Amino acid sequence: MENNEEKNTYTVKLLVVTERPVFPGGITTLVVSRAEEIKLIENLGKGGIFGILMAKERDSFDNCIMDSTLPPEFYEVGTLCSINRFIHLPNGSLHVFVTTMRTFTVHSVDTLLSPYEAVVEDRNTEYESMRPIVPYMRLLRKILSELVTQSPLFSFASEVNIANITDAENLVNYTASCLTAPKEFLQQVLAQQNLIARYEKVLTYLESEKDLVIMQNQIRSDLIDNVKRRNQEQVLKQQISTLQQELDKITGKGGSAGAFSPRGMDIAELADKYDKIKDLLPPIYIETVDKEMSRMNSMDPSSPDYTLTKTYIDTILSLPYSKKNQKVKYTIENVREKLDKDHYGLKDVKDRILEFLASRTLSRSQSGAIICLVGPPGVGKTSIGRSIASALGRKYYRFSMGGVRDEAEIKGHRRTYVGALPGKFIQALLETKEVDPVILIDEIDKMGSSFQGDPASALLEALDPEQNSRFRDLYLDLPYDLSKVLFIVTANTLETVPEPLLDRMEVIEVSGYTSQEKLNIAKGYLIPRLIKNNGLEKRNISLSDDALLSIAEEYSREAGVRNYEKNLDKIFRKLSLEILEKKSDGNLLIEKKDVEKYLSIPRFDLSEKIEAEEAGTAIGLAWTSMGGDVLLIEAEALLSHEEFKITGQLGDVMKESCNIALSTVKKEAALRGIDPAYFRHHMIHLHVPEGATPKDGPSAGITMTCALWGMITEQVIKKDLAMTGELTLTGHVMPIGGLKEKVLAAKRNHIKEIIIPQKNKRDLEMLDEDVKKDITFHLVSDISEVLALSFPSDRTRRLTESELEKAQENWEKENQKNG
């Protein structure tokens, strides 16, 4: 240990700990296992001085031991120790007994030495003489004496141990060293120079531990009482059973369930329930309940089968059953009013729902009600289902199919399995206690299948109007009528929904919102709700239209309003904090310039857009489960004899579209007099950027064709033009889906013109004028029309037959000349 008297510092060897710090003023033991530290202890010997310092992270320190290039991180305060003696253990480690002397502050650590060496300076404990320390010592002893009797964790604080410590600093250090607190807290106590503040830290922790110990003891006491009560009940039931058997022998009624036996009480309870609904039960249910109750009457109550039978009968009797002359609980006007109140816009969706309900009202039919709402996340599919249930005056039950791989989730388990339960539909009826609830099946496009069965196949029976009047749950093993249930199904995409299942549903598309629609939703629905949720009703807070539009376009670019609502909620939470911190009086108008203050830098730059500025590029429009998107497709020709290359993590359908696009371009090139040898001497590479994102679907066919055509003719496609359409091998342009989402994505990218298939004309006419505003649409049916619109300056044209024959002769001569 080397001293520097001028700076009051000295150098000391370090022993690093990772679990908890060591406190001064006592004797403690250490187990040293690292070779360099064992050597340090042996070299220092009895009376040797070294420092103990704690590393901040155990994992990172272990990594530094393995790799010397990684600098470890230490806390700034450690403890100086003196070796009393040490013992060699059989495993090669050292058991070291040390006296902990005082704390020090670390100025620097030389991690290149082994073991580490530090330049340190002694720390002095600060004490305010105006505040007596004795009350703190008495309070500490009092709390510890209470905890000793309540928890074995504080056995260290026995009266003998505490009474022997008279020094104030040693008392608090000893207490802290014995606590099972986090190492960060213990390091804070060690680093606290002010003695009063150190006492306050330890006392605060002990008070919280005292409350926790009291709570744990209460829980333990309650558990013991419950166990005793159950044991007493079991003993009493056994005594009653024995007395009943004796009574049966005397009265000659052996084998029957006495009124006072557990079996008799259970059967009496079920029989009472049975009598109340027997008139509503179908004959097969009555037959099954009678048979099961007869079996139960002959069973031993302690038998596992007894409990299973009782639960089975109770499940049957707890189900709701149809009542005669049920009246319609709603009017079309009420449903419309409720939907308008809960959801902005969505006129087409609301009309489809109202038409659906109106036809059922006039026909007095309650069957065939399966609605499928499909659209991107956050557009209100689930909340529409809840609103429909509320408007119809029915109970509402929701379950998600996301990740479901077992058909037993739908149709239940057979009663032969331990822990068997009915499926989701029967559970819904047991919970709602109505025969005609609204059951919302969420995320149906995300279910899977496994060796345990296919949930989609299990859904077919329940969602088929022709079959669900006799739905058979495997647990009940009885036909149950689900025809009066209104099923509402939601999905982000229909691509993963099996066709037979899709065929049984009325599909209603819920499209994304424009920025103006999001603004109106925020003003009419989101802001009033968020103001209430954040307790700001009595404040005069409002956001300008420019601010709301800025949040929609620069912070939450999406088809729905989920992230839009999160950003608004973030603003209101920060306003709540400002009010509590008295930084604001709560009367505030938030303008566009204020948005960045609450939401930081915008996530999306409105000035940025995807552009096709080079030959061989084209802009396509895509429709995903998250809404519309804009894709830049790139094509490049390289001198090579390799085959056609496709990159960008494309699905099988999109790869087929690439091959069709290349075949179409080859055919069109030949018709326009371009030598086919170009394709033999060049390797064509087609790429769709954002390679980490999977892509699939046929609607990029014409976009790929334009990219390839621009590449071979060395032309740049028309500025601010995007397109979408499936291409056939004969050059016809086929219709696509998700037109609204694609148009909204194009508007966000400042596209001025869009090419769409002629067969999507009806879909285009159904779009709101606000969606179509500022965009010119071109309807096409053939690839030649697409190329004419995309390359207005293209000088190539289709040759006549004679011109083609002459061109072919020239190609053959050129090929022969070139070998």
The residues, any chain, with a CB within 8 Å of residue 85's CB and separated by 6 or more, are 46, 96, 97
Q: Is 378 known as a binding-site position?
A: yes
| Residue 115 preceded by cis peptide, ω within 30 | yes
CB environment 172-181: b (16+ within 10 A), e (fewer): bbbbbbbbeb
Residue 778 reports pLDDT greater than 90: yes
Q: Is 377 known as a binding-site position?
A: yes
pLDDT given for residue 258 in this prediction: 47
The residues, any chain, with a CB within 8 Å of residue 278's CB and separated by 6 or more, are 286
Pairing state between β 721-723 and 753-757: parallel
Q: Locate 571 and state its tokens.
A: 């603003």
The residue among 608, 502, 507, 633 whose CA lies nearest residue 554 is 608
Pairing state between β 726-727 and 733-734: antiparallel
pLDDT higher at 477 or 8: 477
Q: Locate 456 and state its tokens.
A: 């989609």
Distance CA 106, CA 55 (A): 12
Q: Model confidence at 353, in pLDDT bands (50, 70, 90)?
A: confident
Write the pLDDT tens digit of every residue in 703-760.
999 999 999 888 999 999 999 999 999 989 999 888 888 888 888 888 899 999 999 9
Distance CA 498, CA 492 (A): 14
Q: Locate 642 and state its tokens.
A: 């390799």
Write the pLDDT tens digit of every residue in 785-813.
999 899 988 877 777 777 777 777 776 66
Q: Considering 699, 740, 747, 790, which one is annotated as catalytic?
A: 699
pLDDT given for residue 253 in this prediction: 46
Q: Is 424 known as a binding-site position?
A: no
Q: Is 512 known as a binding-site position?
A: no
pLDDT given for residue 468 in this prediction: 81
Q: Is 548 within 8 Å of 523 (Cβ atoms)?
A: yes
Query: In the chain, pLDDT over 90 holds for what percent of residues?
Result: 14
pLDDT given for residue 81 in this prediction: 93
Q: Considering 201, 350, 695, 742, which one is annotated as catalytic?
A: 742
Distance CA 753, CA 749 (A): 11
Q: Is 560 within 8 Å of 378 (Cβ atoms)?
A: yes
Out of 72-76, 220-224, 624-628, 767-771, which region has the weakest mean confidence (pLDDT)?
Answer: 624-628
Q: What is the DSSP letter of 254?
A: T
pLDDT given for residue 644 in this prediction: 86
Is 699 a residue of the active site?
A: yes
Q: Is 602 known as a binding-site position?
A: no
Query: Phi and psi (nearest 5°) for 717?
Result: -65, 160
Out of 144-153, 166-175, 211-220, which region has the weakest mean confidence (pLDDT)?
Answer: 144-153
Q: Is 738 known as a binding-site position?
A: no
Write the pLDDT tens digit of every residue in 244-280.
667 666 655 444 444 445 556 777 788 888 888 888 8
β-partners of residue 645 are 685
CB-count exposure of residue 256 (10 Å: 0-12, 13-18, 19+): middle
Average pLDDT, the chain: 83
- The residue with tokens 């939601």 is 490
Distance CA 748, CA 722 (A): 12
Out of 143-152, 176-185, 732-741, which region has the weakest mean confidence (pLDDT)?
Answer: 143-152
Q: Is 749 helix (H, G, I), strand (E, B) or coil?
A: coil
Q: Is 620 known as a binding-site position?
A: no
pLDDT given for residue 5 in this prediction: 60
Q: Is 672 within 8 Å of 791 (Cβ atoms)?
A: no
Q: Model confidence at 331, in pLDDT bands (50, 70, 90)?
A: confident
What are the E-state strand segments in 674-815?
682-687, 721-723, 726-727, 733-734, 753-757, 776-780
Average of per-residue pLDDT across 334-352: 82
Give the pTM: 0.59
Q: Is 252 known as a binding-site position?
A: no
Query: Phi and psi (nearest 5°) for 302?
Result: -85, -5
Write the pLDDT tens digit of every residue in 531-587.
888 888 777 788 888 888 888 888 887 878 888 889 899 988 888 888 888 777 767
Write the pLDDT tens digit of every residue in 277-315.
888 888 898 898 888 888 888 777 777 888 888 888 888
pLDDT given for residue 256 in this prediction: 45
Q: Is 707 within 8 Å of 635 (Cβ atoms)?
A: yes
pLDDT given for residue 78 in this prediction: 93
